[in-house]
């Protein structure tokens, strides 16, 4: 198999960014590098690896191991090459008799306190200490180890007080102090790369030890978030993946893309045979720059979990047990049912849901299935329930349904507004990059009902935390605009040049109205007017201003209005079109951007082109030989309404669990139960499958080729590292089904699907697999105008021409608190779990979060007699559930919060079916609730669990 690794050398220290170049001579070779480069890195660039232990190019130089010494002509001594910057004209020698002796002496000391069990050591073959002993020619150790850190007992059998046993508390890596050389790489990675500061060096001199905080802390009980940066940085077996300890070292690696969140980190899937040994972040991945989080790095075990279904299954009724059948039988059964429905109820009675978990190519085929084979536009995707308002709002104001920046942009930002997002939990690798910038002095404004980790964490403190009442985003964003406009802090030159000045005047009149002032909305939003004013002034005057936002913005009745308000803020302050600024939606799913791009929405063909346009339809009509319906199709909530009404009967749902992830569970289940053929295509028997008649087993991201598009519009390669366990990649399954329905598709590789996408979609015209292979990744638009793709959007002008200011009138949601439901529930995510948890619940990540809990303020808890850990009943107008409470002042009085990762919690039994006015994106973030003490699970939970158990039965093979 092809090995996609570009030689992944460690240059020892990070690259310098200076434009000033310096020429020096190393070992007789001239080399020119940017000013500020270390001698070690300059040497590495001409292929000379100076021996080193404490240096690695993901973190700043430290100069502690004294192995990388060099001699410089005309200078005294033997400076460390990692901490010594280059200078013009110097002559450096990396290998002299003096250096050889010194290095050997240093290594001798290291080895004198290190166990010599190399053959049975888990880092055997992957150990820099071993490599350096070889590199410096260490042949003999003169010192007899008397006091050591690695012997459990001394020679007389007395316990060694310096010996610390291995810490195996983390499910994913072990910390073995006896192998530690105290190079501090782990401590520095935790600080500089991850920004958690969980690790420290305790003691001094011979007593120096790596420690997870206090002496009593273990890896699991400490602040450690298990991102893997320390494991990555460790040169020995001290911090090591347990999978490597179990399996052994990998023999090859393949670059691929993480299948969790919208950051889209590049990883090396390190393999032995067809067994995945470990996933390590890829240094040249442009989204993550070599960093990772606990999910992508470690939580891949779901792909081989025993719950995975590997055979297609069918059943006549959802009350029957499942029958395992062959692929052809499943296809025939599914196609006959769908054909029957279409014959009886018409071609608009069926539809599809594409998956934001699957590849672009797979998503494209699913929407093609409904448009070309079913011949309707009934296609939707889970972006409906997350970022559909982003598509609408940014499309209206800026002209394109996507974020404006790449993630590198954060390195040049000066003031950041994070609104309705908690990147530390939801987009951890981006959060680490943001925190790095904040530690260097950028200012942060957090708009969130909760005191999230972004507000206050080690070495990070938000300048302003606008802890608004859920549901008042529009009022806050408009009030910020009010301050900027009335205090004349806007960027007039930018607005005159890039937007319509008259239109801005109209908008300025609107926001300047007294009812939009911070003082006027203070009571409503719960945010002090002075804080809002200070935040607005900071954003408008603090330099490069960027806005990052998440589902706390979109999942509201006025989600689209807030997105428009955010675009207004960016435009009026001139913060669009260069590095360090912009409007940046943090996308939830790995390929939610891609699934939107690929025409998953019922009103638009791939590339965001409305189906009403005859010239756009003609492109596909000519290629596919069908007539495309010019009318928009049904969105997910509309499909369910139509199902309840009896006009929508059949659904092919790929890689989405609408029963768990969509609001108002009872309405979803009623809609699904009313359908005659529900086909679920997934890795697991998810909650939706309880209502399915056909189950197509899915393939994991490790088992197929394709592309994902992340929140930066970056198209990244997904590569097959093992054969699909159930026989087919998902795109092949969709093709089999389409052909069973009478189509004549003959794709033999996803690259052919991408060719079709590029041929028909202007913004993808220049995208080919060859280009992605060569460039590593490419950001759309990629076409003749931008053959290398587009890292920054709207550089010289907005995609729509002039940027459009649109009034953002605050309309209170109809979901209101009252005597029966006096509290507001809002929802969010936690680091270790992912969305509905289908993947992460099937990994050891449950050790961090085994159930959803309700956060409640001490005042509200005391009023209700609720204590820490109590079962509580959570009731709304839509339904009720039970879960355990935790008491915290992270939430304000009147607000409660929970996550939605566990199906037992059924948080969406509580949420209502209110939705965004423009896109029907559900209002997950605001539900009026009451909390009361409880004895245990609600009747609904027990009833549902019984039904789910019954529904998941699989009949024994005959």
Partner 1 sequence: MSHDAPHAKLIYMANQIAKFMESKPHDQGIEGLASHINDFWEPRMRRHLFEVLDAGGNGLRPLVLDAAVKIRRPAEAA
Binding site for partner 1 (CB under 8 A): 346-348, 377-378, 510, 557-558, 560-561, 602-603, 610, 612, 631-635, 638, 641-642, 644-645, 647, 667, 670, 807-809, 811, 814, 912-915, 917-920
**Which CB sits closer to partner 1, 378 or 699?**
378
**Which CB sits closer to partner 1, 448 or 629?**
629
Q: Nearest approach, Cβ of 672 to partner 1 (angstroms)?
A: 14
What single string gives the DSSP state of each residue in 2-39? ---PPP----SSPPP--S-EEEEEETTEEEEEETT-BH
What single string gives the DSSP state of each residue in 499-530? B-HHHHHHHHHHHHSGGGSHHHHHHHH---HH
**Other Cβ atoms closer than 10 A to 206:** 11
- In the sheet with 323-324, reading across from the earlier edge strand, the strands are 323-324, 313-314, 694-697, 677-682, 650-654, 350-354, 379-381
* CA 414 – CA 443 distance, rounded (Å): 6
**Which CB sits closer to partner 1, 94 or 808?**
808
Q: Is 644 exposed, middle or buried (0-12, 13-18, 19+ CB in 10 A)?
A: middle
Q: Nearest approach, Cβ of 402 to partner 1 (angstroms)?
A: 19
The angle that helices 473-486 and 518-525 make with each other, rounded to 10 degrees, is 160
**Which CB sits closer to partner 1, 45 or 913?**
913
Contact 554, 481 (CB under 8 A): no
Q: Nearest approach, Cβ of 808 to partner 1 (angstroms)?
A: 8
Q: Considering only CA atoms, give the Rg of the chain.
A: 29
**How many degrees, rounded to 5, is the angle at CA 595 between CA 616 and CA 753?**
65
**Which CB sits closer to partner 1, 811 or 946?**
811
**Which CB sits closer to partner 1, 345 or 537?**
345
* CA 677 – CA 343 distance, rounded (Å): 13
Residues in the chain: 958
Q: Nearest approach, Cβ of 643 to partner 1 (angstroms)?
A: 11
Q: Nearest approach, Cβ of 638 to partner 1 (angstroms)?
A: 6
Q: Nearest approach, Cβ of 807 to partner 1 (angstroms)?
A: 4
**Which CB sits closer to partner 1, 150 or 810?**
810
* CA 116 – CA 111 distance, rounded (Å): 8
**Which CB sits closer to partner 1, 510 or 737?**
510
Q: Nearest approach, Cβ of 432 to partner 1 (angstroms)?
A: 37
Sign of CA dihedral 337, 339, 345, 348: positive
Q: Nearest approach, Cβ of 336 to partner 1 (angstroms)?
A: 22
Q: Nearest approach, Cβ of 631 to partner 1 (angstroms)?
A: 5
**Which CB sits closer to partner 1, 22 or 639?**
639
Longest dimension (CA), the chain: 92
Pairing of strands 694-697, 460-461: unpaired
Contact 423, 430 (CB under 8 A): yes
* CA 676 – CA 651 distance, rounded (Å): 9
**Which CB sits closer to partner 1, 64 or 473?**
473
Q: Nearest approach, Cβ of 400 to partner 1 (angstroms)?
A: 17
**Which CB sits closer to partner 1, 14 or 632?**
632
* CA 268 – CA 783 distance, rounded (Å): 29
* CA 703 – CA 302 distance, rounded (Å): 13
Q: Nearest approach, Cβ of 378 to partner 1 (angstroms)?
A: 8
**Which CB sits closer to partner 1, 272 or 666?**
666
Q: Is 684 exposed, middle or buried (0-12, 13-18, 19+ CB in 10 A)?
A: buried
* CA 333 – CA 312 distance, rounded (Å): 11
**Which CB sits closer to partner 1, 25 or 807?**
807
DSSP symbol at 224: -
What pairs with residue 694 in β-bridges? Answer: 314, 679
- Token couple for 690: 């309880």
- Token couple for 913: 């079916």
Q: Nearest approach, Cβ of 803 to partner 1 (angstroms)?
A: 17
**How many degrees, rounded to 5, is the angle at CA 96 between CA 94 and CA 99?**
80
> What's the Cα-to-Cα distance from 495 to each of 170, 479, 638, rounded to whole Å?
53, 19, 39
**Which CB sits closer to partner 1, 277 or 918?**
918
Q: Nearest approach, Cβ of 645 to partner 1 (angstroms)?
A: 6
**Which CB sits closer to partner 1, 848 or 940?**
940
Q: Nearest approach, Cβ of 914 to partner 1 (angstroms)?
A: 7
Q: Is 939 exposed, middle or buried (0-12, 13-18, 19+ CB in 10 A)?
A: exposed
Residue (of 789, 400, 428) closest to 596 by Cα position: 400
Q: Nearest approach, Cβ of 647 to partner 1 (angstroms)?
A: 6
Q: Nearest approach, Cβ of 837 to partner 1 (angstroms)?
A: 27
**Which CB sits closer to partner 1, 626 or 670?**
670
* CA 667 – CA 636 distance, rounded (Å): 12
Q: Nearest approach, Cβ of 364 to partner 1 (angstroms)?
A: 22
**Which CB sits closer to partner 1, 602 or 697?**
602
* CA 313 – CA 331 distance, rounded (Å): 10
Any alpha helices (H) in 217-309, and if so which ranges?
229-233, 242-247, 294-298
**Other Cβ atoms closer than 10 A to 20:** 8
């Amino acid at each position: 198999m092809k090995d996609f690794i570009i030689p992944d050398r460690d240059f020892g220290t990070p690259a310098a960014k200076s434009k000033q170049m310096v020429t020096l001579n190393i070992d007789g070779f001239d080399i020119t590098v940017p000013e500020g480069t270390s001698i070690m890195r300059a040497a590495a660039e001409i292929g000379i690896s100076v021996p080193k232990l404490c240096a690695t190019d993901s973190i700043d130089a430290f100069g502690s191991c004294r192995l990388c010494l060099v001699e410089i002509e005309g200078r005294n001594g033997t400076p460390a090459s990692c901490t010594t910057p280059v200078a013009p004209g110097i002559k450096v020698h990396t290998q002299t008799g003096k250096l050889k002796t010194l290095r050997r002496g240093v290594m001798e000391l290291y080895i004198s306190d290190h166990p010599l069990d190399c053959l049975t050591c888990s880092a055997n073959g992957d150990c820099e200490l071993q490599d350096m002993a070889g590199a410096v020619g260490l042949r003999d150790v003169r010192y007899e180890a008397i006091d050591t850190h690695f012997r459990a007992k001394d020679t007389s059998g007395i316990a060694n007080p310096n010996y610390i046993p291995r810490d195996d508390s983390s499910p994913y890596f072990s910390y073995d102090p006896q192998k530690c050389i105290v190079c501090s790489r782990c401590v520095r990675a935790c600080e500089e790369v991850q920004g958690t500061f969980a690790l420290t060096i305790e003691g001094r001199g011979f007593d120096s030890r790596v420690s997870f905080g206090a002496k009593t802390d273990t890896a699991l009980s400490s602040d450690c978030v298990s991102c893997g940066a320390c494991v990555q940085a460790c040169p020995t077996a001290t911090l090591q993946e347990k999978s490597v300890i179990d399996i052994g070292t990998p023999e090859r690696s393949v670059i691929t893309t993480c299948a969790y969140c919208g950051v889209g980190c590049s990883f090396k899937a390190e393999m032995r045979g067809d067994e995945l040994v470990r996933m390590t972040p890829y240094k040249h991945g442009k989204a993550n720059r070599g960093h990772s989080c606990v999910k992508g790095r470690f939580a891949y075990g779901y792909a081989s979990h025993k719950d995975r279904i590997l055979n297609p299954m069918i059943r006549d009724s959802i009350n029957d047990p499942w029958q395992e059948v062959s692929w052809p039988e499943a296809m025939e059964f599914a196609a006959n049912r769908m054909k029957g429905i279409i014959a009886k109820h018409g071609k608009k009675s069926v539809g599809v849901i594409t998956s934001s978990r699957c590849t672009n190519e797979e998503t494209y085929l699913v929407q093609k299935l409904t448009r070309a084979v079913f011949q309707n536009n009934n296609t939707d995707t889970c972006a409906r329930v997350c970022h559909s308002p982003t598509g609408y709002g940014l499309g209206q104001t800026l002209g394109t349904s996507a974020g404006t920046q790449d993630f590198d942009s954060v390195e040049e930002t000066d003031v950041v507004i994070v609104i309705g997002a908690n990147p530390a939990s939801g987009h951890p690798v981006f959060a680490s990059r943001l925190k790095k910038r904040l530690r260097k002095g950028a200012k942060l404004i957090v708009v969130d009902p909760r005191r999230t980790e972004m507000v206050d964490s080690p070495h990070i403190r938000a300048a302003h935390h606008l802890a608004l009442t859920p549901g008042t985003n529009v009022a806050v964003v408009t009030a910020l605009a009010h301050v900027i406009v009335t205090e004349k802090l806007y960027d007039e030159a930018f607005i005159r040049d890039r937007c319509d000045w008259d239109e801005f005047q109209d908008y300025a009149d609107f926001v300047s109205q007294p009812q939009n002032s911070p003082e006027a909305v203070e009571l409503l939003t719960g945010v002090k007017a002075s804080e809002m004013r200070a935040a607005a002034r900071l954003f408008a005057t603090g330099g490069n201003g960027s806005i990052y936002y998440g589902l706390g913005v979109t999942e509201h009745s006025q989600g689209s209005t807030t997105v428009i308000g955010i675009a207004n803020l960016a435009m009026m302050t001139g913060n669009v079109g260069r590095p360090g600024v912009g409007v940046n939606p943090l996308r939830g799913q790995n390929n939610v951007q891609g699934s939107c791009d690929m025409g998953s929405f019922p009103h638009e063909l791939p590339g965001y082109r409305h189906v009403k346009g005859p010239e756009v339809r003609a492109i596909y009509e000519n290629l596919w030989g069908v007539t495309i319906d010019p009318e928009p199709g049904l969105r997910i909530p509309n499909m369910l309404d139509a199902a309840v009404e009896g006009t929508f009967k059949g659904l092919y749902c790929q890689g989405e669990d609408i029963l768990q992830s969509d609001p108002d569970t009872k309405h979803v289940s009623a809609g699904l139960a009313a359908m005659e053929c529900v086909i679920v295509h997934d890795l697991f028997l998810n909650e939706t499958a309880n209502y399915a008649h056909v189950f197509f087993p899915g393939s994991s991201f490790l088992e197929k080729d394709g592309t994902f598009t992340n929140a930066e519009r970056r198209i990244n390669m997904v590569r097959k590292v093992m054969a699909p366990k159930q026989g087919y990649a998902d795109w092949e399954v969709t093709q089999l089904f389409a052909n069973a329905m009478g189509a004549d598709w003959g794709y033999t590789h996803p690259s052919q699907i991408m060719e079709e996408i590029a041929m028909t979609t202007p913004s993808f015209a220049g995208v080919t697999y060859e280009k992605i292979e060569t460039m590593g990744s490419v950001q759309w638009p990629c076409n003749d105008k931008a053959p290398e793709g587009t890292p920054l959007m709207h550089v010289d002008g907005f995609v729509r021409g002039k940027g459009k200011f649109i009034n953002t009138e605050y309309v209170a949601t109809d979901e209101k608190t009252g005597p029966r439901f006096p509290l507001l529930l809002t929802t969010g995510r936690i680091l270790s779990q992912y969305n509905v948890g289908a993947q992460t619940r099937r990994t050891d990540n449950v050790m961090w979060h085994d159930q959803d809990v309700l956060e409640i303020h001490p005042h509200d808890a005391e009023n209700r007699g609720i204590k820490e850990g109590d079962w509580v009943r959570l009731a709304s107008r839509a339904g009720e559930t039970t879960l355990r409470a935790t008491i915290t002042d992270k939430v304000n009085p009147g607000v409660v919060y929970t996550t939605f990762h566990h199906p037992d919690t059924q948080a969406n039994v509580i949420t209502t079916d209110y939705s965004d006015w423009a896109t029907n994106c559900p209002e997950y973030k605001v539900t009026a609730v009451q909390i009361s003490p409880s004895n245990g699970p609600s009747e609904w939970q027990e009833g549902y669990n019984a039904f789910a158990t019954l529904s998941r039965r699989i009949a024994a093979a005959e």
